[in-house]
Structure 1
Amino acid sequence: MKRKTDPLDSVAGQILENAKKSGLEINTAEDAENLMAHMLGRLLTQMLDGEMTNHLGYERGGKRVTENERNGHSSKTLKSSSLGNIRIDVPRDRKGEFEPRVVPKHKRQLAGFEDKVLALYARGLSTREIQGFLYDEYGMETSAEFISDVTDAILPEVEKWQNRPLDPFYTTVFFDSIRVKIRGDNGIVTPKAVHLALGVNAQGRKEVLGMWVADNESAKYWLKVFTELKNRGVSDILIAVTDGLKGMKEALEAAFPNTLLQTCIVHLIRNSLKFVGYKDYKAVAGALKPIYRAVNAADARKELDAFAQSELGLRYPYIAKQWIDSWDKVIPFFDFSPNIRRLIYTTNAIESLNRDLRKVIKTRAAFPTETAALKLLFLAIRKVEKRWVRPSPYWSAAMRELVVLFGDRITPYID
């Protein structure tokens, strides 16, 4: 099939011919890229000169029509994720009134470059690693300050996200935390907890409601978090699922008194098996199943008491004690059918998120500031949320039962 003639073919041919006449050898794709970077720089310079002519109202060498006039050029290097460094000459006017539009003042990169840097940063690459990548891939030299400036440009977006209005109602909110190391002003590295809240609304849509950094957990701290959620529009939560976060119960009773507090069953099982010997591991895991698979709370307690008196329970007495100490936060689970239990059985939804977040922070020995940590976590969260396109496969069946159980608390929010 004959290739269609492109109107720009003659232009490309002329460029190559002129390049050869100038002594330039174009033998490789790299040679072509270097030529294109040079040509783009010249094109942008001509466009800027055109803007200056329009600004002053007369052509170069023509008669002045205002008191203002041209005042030479200043060199500027732009960064492109595809062509590397591009040199342009920006025209100046005597009065300094010229505001270029093609390449605005203070702009140092072409469209798409910021996205490239942010994508690398979101993968967990350090500033030094991003510098190395850009140099190896594009021959582009950048400073640590430049990379920091590009990533800092999202800070207003982070603040807007953290303070955005939320839905008035959530069926479930999962609370958990991850640990990050922050280097303080004194140079000492301190591990801090970044708490996350993942909500599931009346349509089954998941979203991260926010993240908060704290040195210590307490009822006062969690009440502050809940107050922020209320100020952003949340008026009701049916079920809060957590893993024994300190002070959560007291704060939840104060802020959302009608919300059920459910401990994460999987966390409880995992903590129970933490110090079990290898030879007993499968046996203990099997012995715990009748407890959390019981039909109701009464049967579950009978199974727990039976386990406590069994040989395995006597060998590992701390297991039954853990369950008994958490029993008031375990039993709400047994009031629901298997469809709802699947949704609140575990904080897997937020644990899956945490795994993705840990992947991007595991290479960091420590973050220089809390802001640096939140900046990276926000980019990672934004990437993960793009995968949340549909509700859980159990959602429809569970929702029908929730409507029966909670009635007027949920029906106003169903489409």
Structure 2
Amino acid sequence: MIANRRSNVLTRPDHKIVDRTKIRDGKVANRPIYVVMAVTVDGTRDILGIWAGDGGEGAKYWLHVFTELKNRGLDDVLMLVCDGLKGLPDAVETVWPRTIVQTCVVHLLRNSFRYAARQDWDKVAGALRPVYTAPGEDAATERFLEFQEAWGRKYPAIVKLWSDAWAEFVPFLSFDVEIRKVICSTNAIESVNARIRRAVRARGHFPNEAAALKCIYMALMSLDPTGKGRKRWTMRWKAPLNAFQIAFEGRLTPSNN
């Protein structure tokens, strides 16, 4: 695993939750399965681990996960992109104090549509676009106030959603467009999640947690057997790598390739 090579610094761990998995523990219950995916300085995507939760995870749980990763050799994390997992920012600060925690912008947008009528989706998306494409935090704040004035009365839950996530959303705005592309895109992790969902749904439910994790592990091991996806990703990585090198000067170890 790449996390065991201490010379590599991870640039973008994706902390994602897969669909809840049915596990029998006395009775069949839905359990979340968490996947941590990282991108190294070489542009290589790696699955660092999978963990089963119970839906009530907090800072203590994530501290355990991150401490395990650090003990396995993950010395530094530049950015960690996640989707509103409670307690996670506090745990990250304890293990890697300099890590920037960034809310997944794509998921923030998707969650916004949950509160909007379908006929308003295009209008809401258009009104939010100036917020997440703003050149900086001040401009984004102005655009968000405009969105709040236009839509706040009809969709107060969307305003609250963005307000609650604002502290983890704004780091995105201070970076070069190449870094924004890497942070904003969820294609890499979504393709992983899609493969896992197919494997899990084919089984229905599992007799225990170990069986569920084994099934997901086997699905992950079958990803991209030809290596073509990895090659395409690496080819697109050079421009973001240069941007990361400047933004995180002194922390990002150059590739020897």
Matches of 2:82 and 2:135, distance apart in 1: 22
Question: Relative contact order: is structure 1 or structure 2 higher (C-alpha 8 Å, sep ≥ 6)?
Answer: 2
Distance 1:385 1:252, change over 3 A: farther
Which residue identity is paired with 1:352?
S
CA RMSD of aligned residues (A): 1.7
How far the C-alpha of 1:413 sits from its partner, in A, is 4.2
Matches of 1:203 and 1:335, distance apart in 2: 23
The partner residue of 2:21 within 180, 186, 189 is: 180
Q: Is the 8 A contact 1:166 1:209 kept in 2?
A: no
How far the C-alpha of 1:385 sits from its partner, in A, is 4.5
Which residue identity is paired with 1:199?
A
1:170 aligns with 10
2:230 aligns with 389
1:405 aligns with 247
Q: Deviations over 1:384-406 (max 9, x none)?
A: 15344223554111111111121
Distance 1:246 1:385, change over 3 A: farther
Q: Deviations over 1:261-287 (max 9, x none)?
A: 000001100011112112212111111
- Please give the secondary structure, in 2, of the residue aligned with 1:262: strand
Q: Is the 8 A contact 2:62 2:91 kept in 1?
A: yes
Matches of 1:245 and 1:229, distance apart in 2: 18
After superposition, residues 179-328 of structure 1 pair within 5 angstroms as 179-184=20-25, 186=26, 188-215=27-54, 216-310=56-150, 312-328=151-167
How far the C-alpha of 1:223 sits from its partner, in A, is 0.4
Matches of 1:305 and 1:392, distance apart in 2: 39
Runs (4+) off by over 4 Å: none
Gapped regions of structure 2 (runs ≥ 5) = none
Q: TM-score, normalised by structure 1?
A: 0.58
Distance 1:164 1:407, change over 3 A: closer
Q: Say if 2:206 is the partner of 1:367.
A: yes
1:333 aligns with 172
Matches of 1:347 and 1:249, distance apart in 2: 20
Q: Could you tell me the percent identity over the aligned residues? A: 38
Q: Deviations over 1:285-324 (max 9, x none)?
A: 11111111111111111100110001x3321111111111
Q: Is the 8 A contact 2:42 2:234 kept in 1?
A: no
- Please give the secondary structure, in 2, of the residue aligned with 1:177: strand
Aligned residues: 250
How far the C-alpha of 1:352 sits from its partner, in A, is 1.7
1:8 aligns with none
Which residue identity is paired with 1:405?
A
Gapped regions of structure 1 (runs ≥ 5) = 1-160
Q: Is the 8 A contact 1:242 1:347 kept in 2?
A: no
After superposition, residues 42-191 of structure 1 pair within 5 angstroms as 165-167=4-6, 168-178=8-18, 179-184=20-25, 186=26, 188-191=27-30
How far the C-alpha of 1:378 sits from its partner, in A, is 0.9
Matches of 2:217 and 2:3, distance apart in 1: 14
- Please give the secondary structure, in 1, of the residue aligned with 2:38: strand
How far the C-alpha of 1:164 sits from its partner, in A, is 7.6
How far the C-alpha of 1:363 sits from its partner, in A, is 2.6
> Which structure has the bigger radius of gyration?
1
